[in-house]
Structure 1
């Protein structure tokens, strides 16, 4: 049970378990972003084939889908620190293979795809275990702030990682791969040094029903189902960022430099909002705040879709990033706090599968719709659809809309049966 009577507890700035977790998340996020950028450059340099680049995405996506449910069960059966550390170590070893192959000249696309599959499989175990670990490091009162700061770590890696991967590749493919290995292996060591507030005993037995326990719980717990499904459909409809190259070239006439600014703008807005939430965490009306953030995301998407001015478009994208961060922080907090500790790994695995799938399907939906009716109508309709989903979900999940605090969500989670 999460203690919600201890006030805010020690400040996070001096809270060693959370600081170790935060630094480890930054390093792991940087590693993922650097290797993604470097692999993309490297595969294209070797093949000059768009299909080869597409296979890189498939090599990452396939193991994540196949291993999601086993990864969730592993996060609930074993010490989550060890699950995260082993995952990061496997990813680091894959990066070392890429480093040695690049330096010695024997690295082929086959080896790259194999290494990417290992990283994708490691990520399948890493994400749910890391998300489920965080509530055990802080109190309920600290958790919203911790979640916001954890999100800022991910956004910082999203901004800095691709740039570092691209720049370092100019000095040889082995350089970004070596830095990736360093990031992952150092993160693993930091994870092993964490001492959580509570010890998870784990789930006993190995029944097939345990594997699907996260899905069964999500169906029962309306708050969790509502928050995950809201994000799923909002992202499916609001995938405007997939069309940024078209906007930079044909709508805003901003060129490659403008495209770089457009890609960075959502992450800048997200980091700014995450920093604000870190210092001023949400305490009341969390359900309404999440729905308001999704509606704001839809409105900003419409503004971006209609804009012909680069500055206005950048502002709209930053608002989209900020609103999305509010939604992510509230959703992730609700999912973790409203879930019994013994189920958090499996529920987090399902959550990450939905989020990852919706991002990719949302990009596909936006590209397909833009091909049929044009980029501007596709983005505007996506924003309208996002708002419509939020309004419909308010009626479909009234308990989620009325939820007042994260402590209330934690009490609901404590009262839920595990089986």
Structure 2
């Protein structure tokens, strides 16, 4: 292996991979100054497993050559950038080399589309297959399902990868046609259906045959670019909700549009708005996945965009003050979850603890609630002087002011969900 050339490829293809956020990255820059490990190597990112462990991954593209000309993509065929491509053997060698040095615990491998979808997908599968079969690699592998690839290749990929993902790219089909005219939505949906069907079949067969081969055990995910087209937030979270409900999606990722190319079909937009909007979409996503909210509860036709000033849970509460205050001793779990400042774990602790005692503010603090926010929405049996603000027009400003005071020394965009 030519070390200098491989290093150059790694820098190019790791940099190109950074725009894919369906593998969460910590952006770590810590170098090894005599200790163990090194997170400064090109392509290292971090994600989290289902049990909460943080896993370091080698995150790269197989190639940034691409036959498509998607307007928003840095790797579009008409963009004048430095191109590179790994061989299957180079990716395998890099993964094993990084793993042995304790840099990584797995691989996130995507690619531009060169020649055609099947050729690209076949090489991605060969990487995973060689790692598993020839090197007995048991680390985490995340592969991109290439839209338009044959069903057989997608099925084979799921036998070797822990997770597969297909980027939905633009939330709506009309937006996709505008910015990526070479692509079509059906090619993106078909791999998702194959993986969904295979996962369900695996679960059914596992009940009968314990040794049935694993099939994408970590599920599948997708990503949407936010802000490149004119979809509102209601449309975006409805699309996400649709994929959670109908495709068994593990995660939907939101990538705030970054103007990496210039084209009059793309919006001229400041850096601040996409980051904040992306943050609010993730918070809404969390509400749908873990808090029992429906997309049309979070937003509606009268309010199609998320409030950038407050998080979506607080925004919902402020618009539905008629459902508050909540009595913690009698309210059901679903309603307790909707109190601003109370998360899933705290809500479960409340339901468990209230059987043995009458809860007060001190109890809530010990249970982990953010009482500076929650106190305005709870009816304690002994009374609550903060309830007078429930009908106060300044309640919103009061809560925002308290939050700003508490976090005034932190970054202004470091927003908390609860």
TM above 0.5: no
* Greater radius of gyration (CA): 2
- Report 1 or 2 for greater relative contact order, CA contacts < 8 Å, sequence distance ≥ 6: 1
Q: TM-score, normalised by structure 1?
A: 0.24
Q: TM-score, normalised by structure 2?
A: 0.24
